[in-house]
Amino acid sequence: MKSKKVYQNEDGSTSIWEYDTAVRTNGPISVTEIPAGHKRATEELTVEVTEPVATKKPSSGKVSKTKMKYLNPVTGKEVGYVRAKNLGLI
């Protein structure tokens, strides 16, 4: 069974989680992150999930800055917190 869930994050970004129970039963097959204020391009940024995602959310529901991924507008790729800070994205 295929399904798609769209989440609006508190920071204004959008996450699109795609599920397919025929491929993976424990989590999404792909997650698309669209940053806040970013015009959606024709080609979506897709990240393949290699590990099952935990089904239980943290109690606060927030993700720490160091665990978030940020979009580098120059290359169109995701970078970690330290690299984003060095590039001046944060």
Strand partners, 20: 2
Q: Rounded CA gap, 21 and 3, in Å?
A: 9
Cα angle 63, 42, 86 (rounded to 5 degrees) comes to 40
Q: What is the pLDDT of residue 47?
A: 55
pTM over 0.85: no
Q: What is the average pLDDT across 20-42?
A: 78
pLDDT digits (tens, 9 = 90+) for 38-55: 765 434 555 555 555 444
Going from N- to C-terminal start, the domains of the chain cover: 2-50+62-87
Q: Rounded CA gap, 64 and 18, in Å?
A: 23
Is-contact 18 30, C-beta < 8 A?
yes
Torsions phi, psi for 85 (to 5 deg): -65, -40
